[in-house]
Amino acid sequence: MVLEDPAEESELLPSYNLSAQEYEDLEQARGALVDEELRDVPDPSQNQDAGLQGKKEALLNGVCCSLIQGGTFTDAGNATRQELLELCQAVAEQEPEFVLKVALYTRQELNIRSTANFLLALSAWLPPCRPHLRRYFCRAVRLPSDWIEVAKIYQSLAVSSRKIAPYPSCLRRSLADSFKLFDEYQLAKYNTRKQRCKSDPRKQRRIQKPPSDLLIAKWSKCLSLAKADVTQLVAESSPAQKENKPKDHFSLKKLVRWLHLKEPAYDIMCLLGR
C-alpha cells in the first residue's frame, strides 16, 4: 500500500475563506440580484387592494346618496336597495366586517336610520357578515322602531312562504341583546294601541248603503240631470272602501313572542299584557 504525502494532498484541495464579512457581502449581492430580477414583476395583491378600495368608496358614496331617490328598503324593486345590495355582496367577499362598519357610521355619523337598518339586515342575510353582526348591532340600533324595521327588511330579503322567515342565530341573539337596552318609556312610546291589535269600535265607520232608485230619481229631478249623471256623482262623493291590506306581522308584541324573549321580564310582561 502506497501512502501519499500529506503536503501533496493539501495542494489538491481548494481553499475556502469563510469569514463573516465575505459571507454578508455575498448575501447582499444575491439579495440585490433577486430584487433587480423581480422589480418588473407585477404584484397581484396590489391590484386586489386597489379593486377592493374602489368597491369601498362606491359603497360609501351609495350610502351617502341613499336618501336622494327615496323609497323604502322593504321594496324589492327599489333601485337604491339593489345598488347597495350588489356593492355589499362584492365587498363582503373580501372584507365582510367593512359592511358592519359602514352601517355603524351611517347611523351614528350620518344619522340615516333606514339605510343603517338595511345594512344590518343585509349583514344578517349575507353569510360572510354574520360572525361580525352581534358586535355592531347594539350600537347601531337605538330605538324600538329601528329594531322592528331591521326585522321587516330581513323578511323582504329572505324569500319565504311563511309569515315570518326563520332568522339566523346571529340575528336572534342581536335582537335579544338590543332589546335589553330599551327602557320602559321607549317601549311604551312605540307600543301603540294599533300594534297591540286593539281597535276602538266607536271610530269604525258604518257601512253606508247606496241610495235607492227612488232617491236618485228625486235628485235628478231637482238638479235637472240624468239619472246616470247623478249616480256617477254619488259614486265619486262616497268614501272609497278600504282595501284589504296584508296583515302586519311586525310589532313589538309579536316579535317578542316570535323570538321567545324572556329578559327583561317586567317589560316583556307589560308588552304582553300580563
> Does residue 203 fall inside a structural domain?
no
More confident site: 76 or 3: 76
The Cα–Cα gap between 116 and 183 comes to 22
8 Å CB contact between 119 and 83: no
Residue 183 to residue 8: CA distance in whole angstroms: 98
- Integer Rg of the chain from CA: 36
> In degrees, to the nearest 5, what angle opens at C-alpha 105 toward C-alphas 103 and 111?
95
Other CB atoms within 10 Å distance of the CB of residue 64 = 13
Cα 97 to Cα 19, 26, 121, 149, 233: the distances in Å are: 52, 46, 14, 21, 61
Q: Scanning the structure block, which residue is given the C-alpha cell 268614501?
A: 239
Provide the residue range defining the domain that includes 67. Answer: 51-196+249-272
Residue 5's pLDDT band, with cuts at 50, 70 and 90, is low
Between CA 175 and CA 258 the distance in angstroms is 11
What pLDDT does 241 receive?
A: 46
Instruction: Pick from 16-25, 37-46, 213-222, 244-253 the range whose average pLDDT is largest.
Output: 213-222
Query: Average pLDDT of 224-232?
Result: 69
Structural domain tally of the chain? 1
pLDDT at position 198 over 70: no
Cell, residue 156: 323582504
Between 188 and 88, residue with greater pLDDT:
88
pLDDT of amino acid 8: 56
pLDDT of residue 72: 83
- Indicate whether 269 pLDDT > 70: yes
Q: Which residue has the higher pLDDT, 27 or 61?
A: 61
Q: Is residue 255 part of a domain?
A: yes
**Which pLDDT value is given to residue 117?**
92
Mean pLDDT of the chain: 74
Amino acid at 252: L
Angle between helical axes of 113-125 and 130-140 (0-180°, round to 10): 160
125 within domain boundaries: yes
Residue 33 lies inside a defined structural domain of this protein: no
Give a yes or no: residue 260 inside a domain.
yes
Confidence of residue 258 (pLDDT cuts 50, 70, 90): confident
For position 21, what pLDDT does the model report?
Answer: 57
In a domain, 118, yes or no: yes
Per-residue confidence band for 243, with pLDDT thresholds at 50, 70 and 90? very low
pTM confidence score: 0.64
Q: What is the pLDDT of residue 185?
A: 80
Alpha-carbon span 179 to 265, nearest angstrom: 11
**pLDDT (average), residues 223-237:** 69
Closest of 104, 128, 132 to residue 117, by C-alpha = 104
Asked if residue 119 belongs to a domain, the reply is yes
- Position 204 scores a pLDDT of 52
Q: Is residue 256 part of a domain?
A: yes
96-150 pLDDT per residue, tens:
889 999 999 999 888 888 899 999 999 999 899 899 999 999 888 888 888 888 9
